[in-house]
Amino acid sequence: MLSKFLGCMLSAALGDALGASFHHPSERALRYTDDTAMMIALAEAILECEGKLDPRRLAWRFVEAYEREPWRGYGPGPPRIFRLIRRGEGPLELDKRLYPGGSLGNGGAMRIAPVGLFYHDDPNMLRKAVEISCKPTHNHPLGVEGALIEAAAVAMAVELEPEGRVDPSYFTDRLLSFASSEVYERKLKLIPELLKMDAPRRLVAEKLGRSVEAYNSVPTAIYCYLRHQDPLASIRYAASLGGDRDTIACMAGAIAGAHRGVEPIPEDYLNRLEGRERIEELAEKLYRLKSSLRS
């Protein structure tokens, strides 16, 4: 189980970094973006609250992470939200001031791996934790739903045998219980069909999406994972699709790492990954906290 916690978070960060550096593969250091910065902040908040997430404390974690490193590649929405929080106008659901109904982007899903890991054995707590984790920045129902489906995919992958393969139809059928909108239901049902026909990348991108909306990236990440069921192979395929490649690769890597654990990830890539030691430390602390609460 510790290997799965490590594999999930390291693969998420690796997918983020490889996706971001896709056009510069010769760069020695693999630097992550806002996806991993916010994942780290979320993991820290879970630890700080001893497993009981507080959305206000989480919001300030995000603000602090952004202010330390505003150059991480944040989209236009979160920095505006963080500035509103700093001015005392928050800290929750401020995205509804910027977008009708809130943000439906994949920002809630891209950082959700620690929630999928920590609450993998309790679907009710998983749902609550996802909703809390989205409160500071992504409150549109489609944004929250995307984060829930990604977290559920991570949670399901944690329970899989590391050496085995999962049937895509079985996996997506289980995920359908977390879907409530037509767009997610349709795309989840389409994944096994695309896998059976070995669909070309162009068709995968056309049918599932590759852009920043959660419904145009979360199903794609699940497809990338199910196609290869290996961290590095899933990440590489996700990055090859183009579009929001760092986030899709981050989400695909999180699921694959939760399934396979840390062992299949090449050491050379981990040695080049920025923040490896910090991410490993957080994954180990999450695992220990989870174990202590279960005992």
Quick: pLDDT tens for 107-139. Answer: 999 999 999 999 999 999 999 999 999 999 999
15-24, 35-44, 118-127, 167-176, range with the lowest pLDDT: 15-24
Phi-psi region of 261 (alpha: psi -120 to 50; beta: other; left: phi over 0): left
Q: Tell me the two tokens of residue 199.
A: 């669909």
Structure confidence at residue 295 (pLDDT): 75
Is pLDDT at 23 greater than 90 in this prediction? no
Residue 24 — pLDDT band, cuts 50, 70, 90? Answer: low
Residue 27 — pLDDT band, cuts 50, 70, 90? Answer: low
Pick the CATH number of 2-294 from 1.10.600.10, 3.30.70.3270, 1.10.1040.10, 1.10.4080.10: 1.10.4080.10
Structure confidence at residue 26 (pLDDT): 57
Query: 162, 154, 174: which is closest to 218 by C-alpha?
Result: 154
Is pLDDT at 77 greater than 80 in this prediction? yes
Q: Are 39 and 108 in contact (CB under 8 A)?
A: no
Q: What are phi and psi of 198, to 5 degrees?
A: 50, 55
Is pLDDT at 22 greater than 90 in this prediction? no
Structure confidence at residue 294 (pLDDT): 85
Q: pLDDT, tens digit, for every residue of 246-268?
A: 999 999 999 999 999 999 999 99
Q: Are 38 and 69 in contact (CB under 8 A)?
A: no
Q: Are 134 and 174 in contact (CB under 8 A)?
A: no
Q: How far is the C-alpha of 26 from the C-alpha of 221, rounded, in Å?
A: 25
22-31, 50-59, 173-182, range with the lowest pLDDT: 22-31
Structure confidence at residue 28 (pLDDT): 80
Structure confidence at residue 222 (pLDDT): 98
